Amino acid sequence: MSAIIIAVAGRKGGVGKTTIACGLASIFLHRKRSVLVVDLDPQSNAAFALGVDPAAPGTAAFLTGGATPQRAPSGIQVLPGGPGLTDAKVQRLHPEDLADALAKIPIDVVICDCPPGIEYLERLGLTASTVALVIADAHPFAALGAGRVLEDLQDIRDKSRRGPKRWALVMSRLDTRRSADRRMTDNVSDAFPGVHRLEVHQDVSLANATSDQVLIMDAAPQSRGVQDLTRIADWAVEAASSRSKA
């Protein structure tokens, strides 16, 4: 299987990007793939969730000075995020610099956890990706953020720039007890017609895994969260290997 690079983006904070990114990492590890998680967030939460020192040299150093990934106890490789990502040097990078740097690393699956709100960091992740997951929960704020990311992706495609060939919107934290969540599918298909939709339901095991710094496949392999993420992992693999743009 050739390298697949998944960008997990969404612009809005708190919709579940890091949780989903770490969950996917766990699933691919369970499938015996080599996995690298690139934490593009100055908050460095993905590094924390995966049991790696969030302040260790990470993505910023990787991009500007050739640092190498940390190895989590599970075997997942991690490039932590951290405040270094807001450095002027990183802001001045070309959007394709992450893509170029990753091309030199032999790894099966790369997952880029993009930060909320910081467009130039998100762009590094999207440009490097072969498939992109745009995460949104049921609040219109999340839809606004997702919409901007989707517009950017379309812009990248229209201008034939480097970027993912396929993307999907992930409706996250779905809890059908909430009326907004029940209507989310309709709202999303109206707002973003033609965009492929995936789902992750509200599942406390997913959140517990990241806070306990354990992998979801170790903590709750039978959970609904894992079922949802498994479908997403399968979609990502299929989309990455497809030729056509959807």
Smallest gap, in angstroms, from Cβ of residue 191 to other proteins? 5
Count residues binding other proteins (CB under 8 A).
21
Instruction: Mark the segment that binds other proteins (CB under 8 A) among 12-20, 31-39, 41-49, 186-194.
Output: 186-194
56 binding other proteins? (CB under 8 A): no
Among 88, 106, 222, 243, binds other proteins (CB under 8 A): 88
For other proteins, the closer CB: 163 or 225? 163
| Binders of other proteins in range 100-119 (CB under 8 A) | 119
Structure tokens at 11: 């612009």
For other proteins, the closer CB: 179 or 244? 179
Q: Which of 77, 91, 165, 86 is nearest to 128 (CA)?
A: 165
Amino acid identity at 178: R
94 binding other proteins? (CB under 8 A): yes
φ, ψ of residue 103 in degrees (nearest 5)? -60, -20
Among 71, 183, 197, 231, binds other proteins (CB under 8 A): 183
Among 152, 181, 203, 228, binds other proteins (CB under 8 A): 152
For other proteins, the closer CB: 183 or 245? 183
Smallest gap, in angstroms, from Cβ of residue 215 to other proteins? 29
For other proteins, the closer CB: 160 or 190? 190
Q: Which of 130, 76, 61 is nearest to 107 (CA)?
A: 76
| Binders of other proteins in range 118-147 (CB under 8 A) | 119-120, 123, 140, 143-144, 147
For other proteins, the closer CB: 103 or 144? 144
157 binding other proteins? (CB under 8 A): no
For other proteins, the closer CB: 160 or 186? 186
Check if the beta carbon of residue 98 is closer than 8 Å to that of residue 85.
no
Smallest gap, in angstroms, from Cβ of residue 176 to other proteins? 15
What is the DSSP annotation of 163-206? --SEEEEEEEEE-TTSHHHHTHHHHHHHHSTT-EEEEEE--HHH
- The site for other proteins (CB under 8 A) is made up of 83, 88, 92, 94, 119-120, 123, 140, 143-144, 147-148, 151-152, 155, 180, 183, 186-187, 190-191
